[in-house]
Structures are given as C-alpha cells and as structure tokens.
C-alpha cells in the first residue's frame, strides 16, 4: 500500500500532539506522585521525631535517645516497652562490639601488657558477659504482657548493666598503658543508652511509682523482712544455726564436706531453682570466693559474729583490680544472700 507524503504529514499532525499530551500528563502525574511521596516521608519523619522527643523527655542524654528512637520503624505504632527494648538492643550491640575490641587488644598486645592490664581486660570481658545476660533478661521482662509488674526487676538489671561499664574502666585506674582510651567511648555510650532506658521505665503504662521512683510496696517490711522474700527463705533466716538443715558443710578442721568455701561453691548445683544452703563452721577462712552466675539460689550460713570470718588478701597495691579484690564477688541476680557470716 502506497502512502503519500501528504498522508504521512496528516498522521504526524494528529499523532504528535497526542503523544506530547500523553507525555505531559504522565510527567505531571509522576511529579504529583513524587511530591506526594516526599510530603508523606516528611510528615512521617516529623511524627517519628515528635514521638521520639516525647518519649525521651526526662532522659539524661536526650539527643542520643532521640537519634536512637528515630531509626525505629513506625515509632508511632510502638509501645513504650518496645521503644525501651529498641534502645536496650543498641546497648547490647555496643557491648558485643566492646567485647570484640577487648579480645583483639588482649590477643595482639599480650606480650606488651602489664599483669594489671591483663587482669583489667579479663574483668571487662567477664563484665561484658554479665551485661549481655542482664540486658537479655531485661528485654525478656519488657516483652511480657504486663511489663509494669516487673518494673523493679528491670530497674535492677539495667542499673547493674550500667555499673558494669564503670567497673570495667576502673580496672585501668593504675594502668601505665592507654588501653582505656581505646574502649571508653563505646562504654560511655553503653551506659548512656542504659541510663536513658532507666529514665523511660516510669513511662510504662501501669507503673505506680513513689517519689523515690520505686514501687511503694517494694520497700515495705513484713515481719521484719522485705515483702519480696519468700516464706521458705524467711524461715531459713529465722531458724537458729543449730536447727538449720544444710546441703553442704565447710569446716577448717575437716569435719565437714569441704575445708574451703570455694570448694563448696564449686560443688553446688548450677541453675538451681530451690535454695541451696552452705553452712560454714566457726573459723577464719582466708580466701577470695567467686560465685559464678550459674550458681543460683545459694545461701551462706556461719556461726555468728566473731566466730565465722571470711578474709580476702587481694589488693590494688599488689596488682589486683578492685573487681578481683572483693572477698565475695559476682553474685547472680537475686540468687545469693548471707546470714550470720562476717565478710572482711
């Protein structure tokens, strides 16, 4: 079929304007969609920041809190416990990064570090493990149906996690090296995240706090004992030494199961769900007792003031860190307590 040039021109005169119109319409539509999308993003970002500002009000480090929460998707749909959990997870990430840094330092500088620095690094690694464990339990409590009922437990766990970072840094107080300079910034950041989390706890719906920031009933005594102490534990504390039932006996004269407290602790069950009582007979025990986190529900009973003594002999002067110089140390959360026992 033959098409003349006049026919082609006519077709072009019809098609070209239509094409331009379609292109113009599409361009306008795309521009409107882009503007709408940008406006939606701007509004969403504004809502995110406004929500973050509101939640972070009252924290000691508001800028850090706001920048952390602003990255949480759909913040306006999140509950306060979920927001706190988001901040805590950032702290956990920094703890793991700090653990890795300390591990690398210890490995590559092991021949150049002084004994005190090596002990301080070991303390930090141990404290980081404790911190991660404490923060995980706090996250678990925050995810419960009624986190307000676990307010004090979460508060205690977060406080311990925050203190761990400063205990780690204290180990380098007498150090001649500059190890502290490599790790302190991140550790301060961990403490700030945890501090912000603590401040936000009071905003959890259902939390009824007194003026001092704790549950009013938590500080009350019942029969001379804290209300959180179980009846079985109260009876154990009230029972005379000669009438108490013991799981293990420590005696320097060899009349018990062990002659040192450390041996008895090592023999105690791990992750016990019932109270495990260790009776320490009269005498002076020169040892530094370390109770691992897995040794839960321990109770130490001595023969009374002036009879059972536990004396440590480590000091900072001799090259020990403050953390390692404790006579009794590293007790798991709510798991151990002493009665009728003197610790020096």
* Contact between residue 244 and residue 232 where contact means Cβ atoms under 8 Å apart: no
What's the rounded mean pLDDT across residues 65-88?
92
Asked whether residue 15 is domain-assigned, the answer is no
Q: What is the DSSP letter of 169?
A: H
pLDDT in tens, 224-249: 676 667 788 888 878 888 788 889 99
Name which residue leads in pLDDT, 139 or 286: 139
Asked whether residue 9 is domain-assigned, the answer is no
Q: Domain containing 177 — which CATH number?
A: 1.20.140.40
Domain boundary among 153, 183, 201: 201
Both 141 and 266 in a single domain? no
* Contact between residue 68 and residue 88 where contact means Cβ atoms under 8 Å apart: no
pLDDT at position 9 is 63
User: Within a 13 Å sphere around the CA of 153, how many CA atoms are in the beta-carbon half?
Assistant: 20
What's the structural domain count of the chain? 2
**CA 65, chain centre distance (Å):** 16
What's the rounded mean pLDDT across residues 285-293?
84
Both 181 and 260 in a single domain? no
Q: How confident is the model at residue 295 (pLDDT cuts 50, 70, 90)?
A: confident
Least trusted range by pLDDT, from 57-71, 193-207, 211-225, 305-319: 211-225
* Contact between residue 95 and residue 188 where contact means Cβ atoms under 8 Å apart: no
Q: Token match 């301060």: residue?
A: 188
Domain boundary among 167, 201, 235: 201
Both 247 and 313 in a single domain? yes
For residues 28 and 260, give the distance between their C-alpha atoms in angstroms, rounded to a whole number. 85
Q: Tell whether the model's pLDDT for residue 217 goes beyond 60.
A: no
Q: Containing domain of residue 176, as a range? A: 67-201
What's the rounded mean pLDDT across residues 205-234?
64
pLDDT at position 178 is 84
Least trusted range by pLDDT, from 179-193, 262-276, 322-336: 322-336
Question: Token pair for residue 3?
Answer: 């098409």
pLDDT at position 334 is 42
Both 79 and 185 in a single domain? yes
Both 193 and 73 in a single domain? yes
Q: Tell whether the model's pLDDT for residue 139 goes beyond 60.
A: yes
Both 186 and 125 in a single domain? yes
Question: Token pair for residue 336?
Answer: 């151990």
Both 195 and 74 in a single domain? yes
Both 290 and 192 in a single domain? no
Asked whether residue 57 is domain-assigned, the answer is no
Q: Tell whether the model's pLDDT for residue 50 goes beyond 90.
A: no
- Which alpha helices (H) appear in the chain, and where do they start and end? 5-56, 62-69, 80-108, 115-142, 151-170, 179-200, 231-238, 261-267
Asked whether residue 207 is domain-assigned, the answer is no
Q: How confident is the model at residue 330 (pLDDT cuts 50, 70, 90)?
A: low
Asked whether residue 4 is domain-assigned, the answer is no
pLDDT at position 176 is 79
Q: Domain containing 304 — which CATH number?
A: 2.160.20.10
Both 126 and 170 in a single domain? yes
Both 232 and 112 in a single domain? no
pLDDT at position 284 is 87
- Which residues have a Cβ under 8 Å from the Cβ of 221 and sit 6 or more positions away? 227
Asked whether residue 48 is domain-assigned, the answer is no
Per-range mean pLDDT, top range of 6-20, 76-90, 214-228: 76-90
Both 197 and 239 in a single domain? no
Mean pLDDT rounded to a whole number for the chain: 81
Asked whether residue 36 is domain-assigned, the answer is no
Asked whether residue 216 is domain-assigned, the answer is no
Q: Tell whether the model's pLDDT for residue 18 goes beyond 60.
A: yes
Both 337 and 234 in a single domain? yes
């Amino acid at each position: 079929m033959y098409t003349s040039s006049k026919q082609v021109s006519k077709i072009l005169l019809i098609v070209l304007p239509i094409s331009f119109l379609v292109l113009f319409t599409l361009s306008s539509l795309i521009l409107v969609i882009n503007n709408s999308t940008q406006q939606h993003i701007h509004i969403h970002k504004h809502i995110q920041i406004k929500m973050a500002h509101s939640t972070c009000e009252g924290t000691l480090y508001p800028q850090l809190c706001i920048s952390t929460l602003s990255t949480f998707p759909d913040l306006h749909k999140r509950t306060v416990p979920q927001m706190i959990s988001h901040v805590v997870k950032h702290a956990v990430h920094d703890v793991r990064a700090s653990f890795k840094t300390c591990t690398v330092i210890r490995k590559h500088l092991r021949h150049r570090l002084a004994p005190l620095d090596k002990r301080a690094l070991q303390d930090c690694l141990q404290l980081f493990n404790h911190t991660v464990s404490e923060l995980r339990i706090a996250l678990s409590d925050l995810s419960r149906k009624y986190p307000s009922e676990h307010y004090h437990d979460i508060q205690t766990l977060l406080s311990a996690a925050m203190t761990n970072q400063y205990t780690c840094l204290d180990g380098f107080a007498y150090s001649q090296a500059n190890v502290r300079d490599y790790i302190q910034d991140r550790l301060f950041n961990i403490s700030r995240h945890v501090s912000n989390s603590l401040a936000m706890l009071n905003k959890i719906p259902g939390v009824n706090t007194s003026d001092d920031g704790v549950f009013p009933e938590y500080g009350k005594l019942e029969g001379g004992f804290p209300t959180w102490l179980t009846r079985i534990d109260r009876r154990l504390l009230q029972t005379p030494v000669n009438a108490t039932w013991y799981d293990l006996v420590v005696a320097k004269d060899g009349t018990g199961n062990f002659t040192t407290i450390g041996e008895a602790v090592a023999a105690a069950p791990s992750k016990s769900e019932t109270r495990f009582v260790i009776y320490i007979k009269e005498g002076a025990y020169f040892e530094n007792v370390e109770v691992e986190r897995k040794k839960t529900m321990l109770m130490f009973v001595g023969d009374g003031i002036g009879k059972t003594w536990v004396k440590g002999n480590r000091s900072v002067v001799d090259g020990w860190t403050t953390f390692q110089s404790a006579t009794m140390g590293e007790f798991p959360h709510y798991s151990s307590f002493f009665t009728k026992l003197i610790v020096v």
